[in-house]
């Protein structure tokens, strides 16, 4: 079997086009504020893409960049100011934050109505109770890929590997809401392959490059790879990529020092799975699209339409 690749690009583009069309009909501009602290290079790239996309879709965007030594209270007071502003509908504090800034307290200060990352306990609680909530963008994007690719979720056995608050747990809750039968695995799970092999839908959100191998995947499964890892070792890359793909990856390692790899071994996954989301080009593209949708939804809920 050779898996069909599920590209995130057309789905992300469709969601963004829907958001842009709705924004154009609103009569006001939803506003998204992104707070970044310090100089983490990956955060700079993510925030840049969020700001650019917000503007492209006709929304108002603000980027507040604080130095790496910003105090906890300084970040907290920025969040409070943004909470109080009527023109700001969405607030996103880019993680990770420097050590002196206590991220849980910052995230809990964000007005739940403006919590477009869906990390506030109020939204987490509402999601787990099955009520309308702002839900975390990456797992929400996974649901969109599955649904818009015409893949049935209800009644299927979904196995989520990873239980972080950002991906694994909300992913499991969203799949449950879609009526999947859900199993959550983590680092203390015994005999992981025996469980993951049973999955109709296998979601990998682990943070270890190529960790999910052929032995973890049941024939004909749908495998969704949430992982984003940098791999710089060429020998390791040759274990992950087919002959067709490998030269491109080696060239990337030689040019910029690394290639992007998910949590699934793609060479082995395509031999077992029926559907597979590639890295890059799969789930990752959906995250910003879902952030845009959350900003629009937050604006409509706050402003009554």
Give the footprint of ligand NDP on this chain (CB under 6 A): 138, 161-164, 166-168, 185-189, 192, 205-208, 226-229, 263, 283-284, 287
CA 116/CA 107 separation, integer angstroms:
11
Q: Which is nearer to ligand NDP, 285 or 296 (CB)?
A: 285
Active site residue 94: yes
d(CA 118, CA 99): 22
Whether 50 is a known active-site residue: answer yes
For the CB of residue 303, give the shortest distance to ligand NDP in the complex, in Å: 28
Tell me how far, at minimum, the Cβ of 204 lies from ligand NDP, in Å: 8
Is residue 234 flagged as an active site residue? no
Closer CB to ligand NDP, 70 or 171, in the complex: 171
Instruction: Give the active site residue among 16, 89, 94, 169.
Output: 94
Q: How far is the CB of 304 from ligand NDP (least distance, A)?
A: 31
User: Nearer Cβ to ligand NDP, position 101 or 145?
Assistant: 145
User: In 10 A of CB 95, how many CB atoms?
Assistant: 16
In angstroms, what is the minimal distance from the CB of 95 to ligand NDP? 9
Q: Of the residues 50, 114, 169, 267, which is catalytic?
A: 50
Residue 155, helix vs strand vs coil: coil
Contact 183, 195 (CB under 8 A): yes
- Sign of the dihedral through C-alpha 6, 244, 226, 291: negative
Closest CA to 272 of 212, 228, 229, 190: 212
- Bridge partners (DSSP) of residue 36 are 65
Cβ-proximal residues to 288 (8 Å cutoff; 6+ apart), any chain: 12, 49, 50, 53, 137
C-beta closer to ligand NDP: residue 59 or 171: 171
Catalytic residue among 89, 117, 225, 263: 117
Catalytic residues: 50, 94, 117
């Amino acid at each position: 079997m050779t898996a069909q690749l599920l590209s995130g690009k057309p789905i992300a583009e469709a969601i963004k086009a829907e958001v842009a069309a709705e924004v154009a009909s609103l009569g006001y501009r939803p506003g998204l504020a992104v707070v970044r602290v310090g100089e983490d290079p990956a955060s700079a790239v993510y925030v840049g893409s969020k700001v650019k996309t917000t503007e492209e879709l006709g929304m108002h965007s603000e980027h507040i960049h604080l130095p790496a030594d910003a105090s906890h209270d300084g970040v907290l007071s920025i969040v409070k100011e943004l909470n109080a502003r009527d023109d700001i509908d969405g607030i996103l504090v880019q993680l990770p934050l420097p050590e002196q800034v206590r991220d849980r307290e910052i995230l809990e200060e964000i007005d739940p109505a403006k919590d477009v990352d869906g990390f506030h306990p109020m939204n987490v609680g509402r999601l787990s109770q099955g009520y309308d909530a702002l839900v975390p963008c990456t797992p929400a994007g996974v649901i969109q890929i599955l649904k818009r690719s015409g893949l049935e979720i209800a009644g299927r056995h979904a196995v989520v590997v990873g239980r972080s608050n950002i991906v694994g747990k909300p992913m499991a809750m969203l799949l449950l809401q879609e009526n999947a039968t859900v199993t959550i695995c983590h680092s203390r799970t015994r005999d992981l392959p025996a469980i993951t092999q049973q999955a109709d839908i296998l979601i990998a959100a682990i943070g270890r490059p190529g960790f999910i191998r052929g032995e973890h995947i049941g024939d004909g499964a749908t495998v969704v790879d949430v992982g984003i890892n940098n791999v710089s070792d060429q020998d390791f890359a040759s274990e992950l990529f087919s002959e067709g793909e490998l030269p491109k990856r080696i060239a990337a390692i030689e040019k910029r020092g690394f290639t992007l790899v998910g949590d699934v071994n793609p060479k082995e996954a395509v031999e077992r799975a029926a559907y597979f989301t590639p890295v890059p080009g799969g789930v990752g593209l959906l995250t910003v699209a879902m952030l845009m949708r959350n900003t629009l939804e937050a604006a409509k809920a706050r402003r009554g339409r």
